[in-house]
Amino acid sequence: MNKTDALIIGAGPTGLFTAHQLKLIGLDCEIVDNLDKIGGQCIELYPDKPIYDIPAVPECTGEELTNNLINQIKPFDIKFHLSERVDELRKEGNNWIVKTNNGTTFLTPNVIIAGGVGSFEPRKFPVKECEKFENKSVFYSIKDKNIFKDKIVTIFGGGDSALDWAVELSKNSKVNLVHRRDDFRGAQATVDKIHELSKEGKINLFTKYQMTSIKGNGQLESIEIKNDNKDIKNIKTDYVLGFFGLIMQLGPIANWGLNIDKKTIEVDTERFETKQKGIYAVGDICNYPGKLKLILSGFHEGALAARACFKLARPNEKYRFEFTTSSKTIKNRLGVKSD
Amino acid sequence: MAKITYVTNDNQVHTVEVQNGLTVMEGAVQNDIPGIDADCGGGMACATCHVYVKENWFDKIAPKEDGEEDMLDMAFEPKKNSRLSCQIIVSDELDGLTINIPSKQS
C-alpha cells in the first residue's frame, strides 16, 4: 500500500503542474497515468503542434511544454505509475483507497482527477466479431514479436506504428499491409521502404481497402477486405494487427459517484472539489460556470486544488501562503540557495 | 446563419440553426445532438466528430487540409464522403447542409 498526501490521476500538463504545486507547499504526491509516457494529450495527440497561448511562452510544441513541466518538477521526488489505469476507489475513514488495474494500491486523503477526456485506449476495428479474437490473434499493440515468426500477419493502418511494424515483421513473416487510402501519414523514409518492400514482394500492399469481416472458428482463418469500388478480397491470415491510434475513454471514473455531464465532472471553483470530499477534478475534465478548456486554466485549477488538499493531509497545521521569490522554506524544498 | 440537418445513425433528424463562423461540430454540441463526441474540442486531434457529408454537398464545402485526412485514418468506418465536423465552418452558403452521423465515434 502506497501512502501519500495526494494521488494525481493523469500526467498531462495539468497533472504535472498540480504535482509541482503540491510539492511546493510541502505535500507528497504520486501520479498514475494509463499512457506509457508522461504528457497526456500534449504528447499523444499533438507533440509537434505549436501552442501559442501559454502565458509567457510565445510558442512551444506539446512535447516542449511537457519537457519544460518535467524540468520544473525535477527538484522534487515524484513517483510516476505509468501504463496503469485507476480502476477502483473506495472510502475508508478519512482516506480513499485507490486501486489500479495492475493491483497497485494507494491510501490517501486526497485524489485529484486531472484526466483530460479520460484514459487513452487503442482504437479498435469497426467489425464487431474482432472482439472474439482479441488478444489471441487480433492485437492493437505488440508485446512479443516472436509469436509472428513464419506466420501470415495482416497489418491495418497508415501511421508510423503500422509502417514500422510492417517493415520489421516482413523480415520473418509474410506481411499484408492494408490502408484506407494511397497516402500514408508515416515518416517519408518508412513509406519509401514500404514501397520498396512491396516491389520486392516482401510486403503485400492493399490500399483503399478496409476490413469488412473476420472469419474463423475459434482459430482465426481469414479476413475479408473491400475497397471503394466494392471489390472484395479474401485474405488468409494467422494474425491481424490494427494501428489506428488511441482514443480517450472516461472509463471507471464514471462509476465513482461524481456529478458527470458530457464527460466532465462538476466542481466548485474554490477548491475544485467534486461532490465527494477529498476528490478534486482539474483541467479539461472539470466543469463549472465559465470553464475554458485551456492549459492555463488547468494550471490555476491545480494550484487551488493543491491548497485544498493541505487541509485534509495536515489537519493539525495551518496552511500559510508564501511566494517562491521570498520563502526560505520553499527554496529549501526546491533545493535552491536562499539569498 | 444556416439551417444544418444532422441525421443520426438510427435516423433521427435534427435540424437546427447554426450561426455563421461556428463549426458543424459546435452546432451539434451546443444543440445536444447525440453522436458527435468532439473529445479534443476542435483541435483536429482526435477524429471523434467524424461525419458523412451528403454527396451533393461534399464538393460545396471547403476541401480537407492534409491533417484532416490523416485524422480520418483513425475514424470509425471512414468513407469517401467522410469529414471532421470541426473543420466545416458554417456560412450562409451552407444553408440546408445535411450530414449523417456514424454509428459510433470509436
Model confidence band, residue A339 (pLDDT cutoffs 50, 70, 90): low
Helix (H, G, I), strand (E, B) or coil at B93: helix
CB-CB contact of A243 with A140 (8 Å): yes
CB A180 to CB B73 under 8 A?
yes
**What does the alpha-carbon distance between residue A169 and residue A171 come to, in Å, rounded to a whole number?**
5
A206-252 pLDDT, tens digit each: 999 999 999 999 899 999 999 988 899 999 999 999 999 888 888 89
Strand A264-266 versus strand A260-261 pairing type: antiparallel
Identify all chain B residues contacting A247, using CB atoms and an 8 Å cutoff: 39, 46, 48, 74, 106
Question: Which of the pair, A15 or A185, is modelled with greater confidence?
Answer: A15
**CA nearest to B1, candidates B104, B103, B96:** B96
**What does the alpha-carbon distance between residue A147 and residue A167 come to, in Å, rounded to a whole number?**
16
In this predicted structure, the answer to whether residue B41 has a pLDDT above a threshold of 90 is no
CB A126 to CB B76 under 8 A?
yes
Residues A71 and A208 in one domain: no
Q: How close A302 gets to chain B, by Cα (Å)? A: 20
Residues A106 and A255 in one domain: yes
Q: Dihedrals φ, ψ of A263, to 5°? A: 65, 15
A61-117 pLDDT, tens digit each: 999 999 999 999 999 999 999 999 999 999 999 999 999 999 999 999 999 999 998
Model confidence band, residue A338 (pLDDT cutoffs 50, 70, 90): confident
Chain A residue with minimal CA distance to B81?
A228
Residues A190 and A46 in one domain: no
Interface check A248 vs B, CB under 8 A: yes
In this predicted structure, the answer to whether residue A56 has a pLDDT above a threshold of 70 is yes
Instruction: Find the mean pLDDT for residues A192-204.
Output: 96
**What does the alpha-carbon distance between residue A157 and residue A184 come to, in Å, rounded to a whole number?**
8
Report the 10 Å Cβ neighbour count for B79. 15
- Dig out the grid coordinates for A185 from the structure: 501519414
Strand A239-242 versus strand A138-139 pairing type: parallel
**What does the alpha-carbon distance between residue A231 and residue A266 come to, in Å, rounded to a whole number?**
50
Report the 10 Å Cβ neighbour count for A159. 19
Q: Is residue A339 part of a domain?
A: no
Domain count along chain A: 2
* CATH code assigned at A280: 3.50.50.60
CB-CB contact of B85 with B25 (8 Å): yes
- Dig out the grid coordinates for A100 from the structure: 489500479
Identify all chain B residues contacting A248, using CB atoms and an 8 Å cutoff: 39, 46
Nearest-5° Cα angle at B102, B100 to B106: 150
CB A41 to CB B70 under 8 A?
no
**What does the alpha-carbon distance between residue A330 and residue B80 come to, in Å, rounded to a whole number?**
58
Domain boundaries, chain B: 2-100
Mean residue pLDDT of chain A comes to 95
Q: Is residue A216 part of a domain?
A: yes
pTM listed for this prediction:
0.80
Nearest-5° Cα angle at A66, A65 to A68: 65
Chain B residue with minimal CA distance to A160?
B70
- In this prediction the ipTM stands at 0.81
Instruction: Find the mean pLDDT for residues A179-194.
Output: 94
Q: Which of A32-41, A44-53, A195-204 has the lowest mean pLDDT?
A: A44-53
Q: Report CA-CA distances (Å) from B54 to A144, A229, A244, B5, B64.
A: 44, 18, 25, 11, 15
Q: How close A305 gets to chain B, by Cα (Å)? A: 24
CB A247 to CB B46 under 8 A?
yes
The residue segments making up the domain with residue A156 are 124-244
Query: Which helix or strand (DSSP H or E) is residue A154 part of?
Result: strand A152-156
Question: Amino acid identity, residue A191?
Answer: V
Instruction: Quote the pLDDT of residue A45.
Output: 83
CB-CB contact of A115 with A10 (8 Å): yes
- Dig out the grid coordinates for A299 from the structure: 494550471
Instruction: Find the mean pLDDT for residues A56-63.
Output: 96
Q: Dihedrals φ, ψ of A13, to 5°? A: -55, -40
CB B45 to CB A249 under 8 A?
no
Chain B residue with minimal CA distance to A227?
B79
Helix (H, G, I), strand (E, B) or coil at A139: strand
Residues A116 and A252 in one domain: yes
Instruction: Quote the pLDDT of residue A249.
Output: 84
Q: How close A313 gets to chain B, by Cα (Å)? A: 33
The CATH code belonging to domain B2-100 is: 3.10.20.30
